[in-house]
Structure 1
Amino acid sequence: MLHKVLIIDDEKNMRWILEEALKNEFEVKSVENGELGLEISQSFQPDLILLDDQLPRKNGLELLPAFLAQNPDVPIIMMTAYATVENAVKAIKIGAVDYLTKPFHLNQIKEVIKRNIGTQVKQQPVIIGESKIMKEIIQQIRLVAPTDSTVLVSGESGTGKELVAKELHQKSNRKDQPFVTVNCAAIPENLMESELFGHVKGAFTGAVSNKKGFFQLANGGTLFLDEIGEMPYYLQAKLLRVLQEKSFYPVGSDTPISVDVRIVAATNRDLHEEVELGNFRMDLFYRLNVFPIHLPPLRKRKEDILTLAHHFLDRYKRPYQLDEETKTLLTSYEWPGNIRELQNCMERMFILSQGGEITKEHVPPEIKNKITHSHASFNKPADEASLNLEEHERELIENALMKTKGNQSQAAKLLGITRYTLLYRMKKYQILK
């Protein structure tokens, strides 16, 4: 199978020259601007990207971080007709593997491509965990991945929901097909239908050409709908129809398009509660909830904290050592930001330690302060600490109920807990319904 090269250059002649020069040795696609490049790279899945610096709207240096984020394992070579040492250094610092000045000999570009293509080893998703609950989740992933069943992944922010989605894709029969991620919370409501299903030219002001939506880009592969709880209610019915009929209409078109897509959805919301509140369709919830996987917060799997910490530090491929006091601090902290917070913390500590021994001096002060405050509370007499905690919790619940005029679902949402947890607490503290 030929390696894939994606060319992004606004000069039509340059695109033609490069395509002709490379087509016998590589599978080549070319586009004229960065936006199209970002769109097509999800479905084309290139092994190397040639990115021109002088592009309309946004230049190559401005677009480079977006391409690296979307294609973290793909080498990117910058091309420019206006080379400066400053820009070359900046491109390399951002993450480009090389920086070529036009005009260049075609043999030179071939040589550079061959030297860089395949050099960056793709990092497969890794689910880390020695705790009983994580071993059970890993087993669930192993069982459901080879099927086409829809999976709903739930859990707090930072618990690794996208990692689970990627693992499901990599262990499925669709692994060689596109894996497309859609963050439903990040797309403006008025653009979401077009982004999901695409549109035809003239469908609305600004639709100057046909555009494929995420469903078409993911055809044959996996579509990961992150933060599905944020999807507007009116669009939920259209999504449900696609899941049922496996076809849809692009905006402005009366011709249906059939797709074969495996859906993995994720949410940090309690969708049971969202259904009760009328924010999420019950029929869509049951269509998505075919195989639920719930990721526990890090504070519920503390035995995995040091395993994860070592995993993040091992990425630097440099010697390090965690002293015992630091280990105690890491396992005593509650990690409200979960795995994402732990990963950022380990990066910061490694930098501060300059690759040597990592001690408590390198632990961020906000973490040490929270642990100290927590220990101070627990050092109070047991009766006093318990009384203060219960009084505080009861007061929070009563205030939430007062603010929502007794609406339990809204009060639970305000408190960040489920309605069932709220009912349990109300019964415990004998708070009248």
Structure 2
Amino acid sequence: MYSIDPDPVFRNTDRNLSSFIEIDHMKTVVIGLLGTVLDARGKGVKRWNKWRPTVGIFMQEDLLVDRLELIHDARDHRLANNVGADVQTVSPDTEVQLHELRFENPWDFEQVYSTLLDFVEHYPFKPDQERYLLHITTGTHVAQICWFLLCEANYVPAVLLQTSPGRGDNGVSGQCHLIDLDLSKYDAISSRFKRRQLEGTEFLKSGIATRNRQFNAMIQQIEQVAIRSVAPILITGPTGAGKSQLASRIYELKKMRGSIQGELVAVNCATLRGDSAMSALFGHKKGAFTGAQNARKGLLNKADQGLLFLDEIGELGLDEQAMLLHAIEEKTFYPVGADGPVSSDFQLIAGTNRDLQQQVAEGRFREDLLARINLWSYELPGLRHRREDIEPNLDYELQQAESQMGYKVSFNKTARQRFLDFATSPEALWSGNFRDLNACIQRMSILSDGGRINEALVQQECERLLTWWKPAEVNDSLPALEEILEPEQLADMDLFDQQQLRHVVAVCRDSQNISQAGRKLFNRSRLKKSSANDSHRLRQYLAKFDLKFERVQ
């Protein structure tokens, strides 16, 4: 049947494939495409001096193959016969089966995949009786990709076999490598991606092993959004919940992953007032207004190719909001006094402790801007709503204190438990959230002897915090108005107004937002109204004293 030339070079003894071939009664079958270039190397007896991938498989001492299923195009029938004959020369016990298929264009992915799929769907696989090796070295790159996909989808219940030329005495027989898609290598790749995602999530949490399920799920999604999306992110939550720190970590994560090149530009919008707000955000030309002696770039320009964090975005005026919306959508804006636009391609993170929906209803925030920045919205809970996370954050704050002070700081065992019992109890209000926690750890660290925090220091700090938080309790001592009003204002106020305002301030400080405070204060009269607007009524009351809810809180 085959023409056989003498003196073949026999099997390679360096490769050990016995881990694949077990001692049992199962047959080993190799399936592969004829290599029209590499399998055709050499003429006459000289072909035995060249490495040929298909023939080389059968020169491996520890790989015994019972059958070869060799697929070839109709145009390569003669070459297929010759290669089959050479296989039986070096491995007489191997049965060779030739399969003629028609590949109209071996570089057409759809055509090659369909042809090979049709072959494997009609092939009588017997995985309980035979084990299969799928040779992927030969054929076009398109064919190799198709083999991989068919094997990965389990159309071919095989282990991938890759061959390569050897060196020295093994040059002709070459080497074989097994790639099992069903084993640990595939899991290792998956684990690597999962590990990298966990690293990103831990990075956003500053390495703090938080225990709150909802918070951890939120941070995990933020990690995905930060890497995959350039759309604005809105972070809400009470003052001190960590909005600024999270924005900074998102920027650093984006920078590490290469999704951002510029710098982080952060600004608290509550500090931008009047005409200076426009100039600070968008810049101005020289001479644009009185006092504009030099041109100014502005924060949006500075954030080009970087990230702009606008904390307390609800404090922006309506004009600034309109220009910001245009800058987000068009990537251009007009500096004050400029005739032409300036380009800036920045990513935006907005933070607020306000109810922006309520502000939209009151006409204080643009609905179209809220819709634009609200694609990804996340609310950071206050510390009192994450009491299970106080302990890991305590350890983090201790580490920060150590790095600042230059020596180790720690609790003794009893003191630590005493502090945690207090910190997780209902009497611990944590009205300043993580700022309160950071401040109390700093105080105890500084006052500790030799960096050791004892029970006496803990007791002293707990009493200090309770005294600080008392003004938020309506039925206890009320806040002093000196904290929020000028002396001239107090001098003109009736005692009645002072006492009433102190009660209102106490309720505001014990509420998460102005809507909640309004519902508490107008809890009876609101029931008599068809459409109660509690926050508006409270805002009007505070305005009588030139106060805003945010300042009161």
TM-score range, shorter chain: 0.5 to 0.7
Seen in structure 2, the aligned counterparts of structure 1 residues 369 and 415 have a Cα distance that, compared at 3 Å, is farther
Deviation at 1:220, TM superposition (A): 0.5
Aligned partner letter, 2:522 = I
Q: Mark the CA change 1:414 to 1:366 in structure 2 (over 3 Å): closer, same or farther.
A: farther
Distance 1:372 1:412, change over 3 A: closer
Give the CA deviation at 1:323: 2.8
Deviation, 1:394, is 8.4
Please give the residue correspondences for 1:65-84 in structure 2 after superposition, counting only pairs within 5 Å: none
- C-alpha distance in 2 between matches for 1:178 and 1:320: 36
**Which residue of structure 2 aligns with residue 192 of structure 1?**
277
Please show how residues 9-408 of structure 1 align to structure 2 within 5 Å.
126=206, 128=208, 129-146=210-227, 147-172=229-254, 173-317=258-402, 318-321=408-411, 322-332=415-425, 333-354=428-449, 355-359=451-455, 360-369=458-467, 396-398=521-523, 401=526, 407-408=533-534
Q: CA deviation at 1:170?
A: 1.4
Amino acid at match of 2:230: D
- 1:368-392 Cα distance to aligned partner (Å, 9 max, x none): 45899999x9xxxxxxxxxxxxxx9
- CA 1:351–1:188: 2 relative to 1, 3 Å: same
Residues 400 and 411 in structure 1, CA contact (< 8 A), matched pair in contact too = no
Please tell me the residue identity of whatever aligns with 1:218. Answer: A
Letter in 2 for 1:331: T
In structure 2, give the amino acid aligned to 1:199. H
Specify whether residues 226 and 164 from structure 1 end up closer, same or farther in structure 2 by C-alpha distance, changes over 3 A only: same
Cα drift, residue 314 of structure 1: 1.7
For 1:132-169, what per-residue CA distance to the aligned partner results, in whole angstroms no more than 9, with x for missing partners? 12211210221111120110000000000011111221
Q: Distance in 2 between matches of 1:263 and 1:393?
A: 31
Instruction: Determine if contact 2:398/2:409 at 8 Å carries over to the other structure.
Output: no
SS of residue in 2 equivalent to 1:185? helix
Distance 1:414 1:326 in 2: 41
Flag the 1:400–1:238 CA change in 2: closer, same or farther, 3 A. farther
CA deviation map 1:41-73 (0-9, x unaligned): xxxxxxxxxxxxxxxxxxxxxxxxxxxxxxxxx
Question: Residues 174 and 212 (structure 1 numbering): CA distance in 2 closer, same or farther, change over 3 Å?
Answer: farther
CA apart distance, 1:399: 6.9
Kindly state the Cα deviation for residue 126 of structure 1 after the two structures are TM-superposed. Answer: 1.6
**Do residues 410 (structure 1) and 503 (structure 2) align?**
no
- The structural deviation recorded for 1:341 is 1.2
TM-superposed CA distance for 1:176, in Å, is 4.3
Query: d(CA) in 2 for partners of 1:167 and 1:370?
Result: 30
Distance 1:371 1:262 in 2: 38
Contact map agreement 1:127 1:138 (CA 8 A) in 2: no
Unaligned runs of 5+ in 1: 1-122, 378-391, 417-433
Per-residue deviation, 1:189:
1.9
In the alignment, the residues of structure 1 paired with residue 275 and residue 464 of structure 2 have an alpha-carbon distance, to the nearest angstrom, of: 40
Task: Call closer, same or farther: CA 1:262–1:326 in 2, change over 3 Å.
Answer: same
State the SS of the aligned residue for 1:224. strand
Greater alpha carbon shift after TM alignment, 275-284 vs 233-242: 233-242
Distance (Å, rounded) in 1 between the aligned partners of 2:294 and 2:466: 55
Amino acid of the structure 2 residue aligned with 1:358: N
Please give the alpha-carbon distance, in whole angstroms, between the structure 2 residues aligned to 1:374 and 1:409: 19
Contact kept? 2:204, 2:223, Cα under 8 Å: no
What TM-score results when the alignment is normalised by the length of structure 1? 0.58
Using the alignment, how far apart are the partners of 1:127 and 1:400 within structure 2? 48
Change in 2 beyond 3 A, CA 1:415/1:137: farther
Runs of 5+ in structure 2 lacking a partner? Answer: 1-202, 403-407, 476-516, 543-553
How far apart, CA to CA, are the structure 1 residues paired with 2:260 and 2:429? 35
What TM-score results when the alignment is normalised by the length of structure 2? Answer: 0.46
Identity among equivalent positions (%) equals 35
User: d(CA) in 1 for partners of 2:469 and 2:316?
Assistant: 37
Distance 1:247 1:410 in 2: 35
Paired residue secondary structure (1:325): helix
Partner of 1:18: none
Equivalent position SS for 2:216:
helix
Q: How much does 1:181 deviate?
A: 0.4
How large is the RMSD of aligned CA atoms in angstroms?
Answer: 3.2
Change (3 A) 1:184 1:345: same
> How many residue pairs align between the two structures?
278
Render the CA deviation track for 1:305-349: whole Å, top value 9, x for unaligned. Answer: 121112111223314114322221122212011011111111111
CA 1:394/1:324 → structure 2, altered by over 3 Å: closer, same or farther? same
Distance 1:395 1:285 in 2: 27
- Find the residue that maps to 2:222 and give its secondary structure: helix
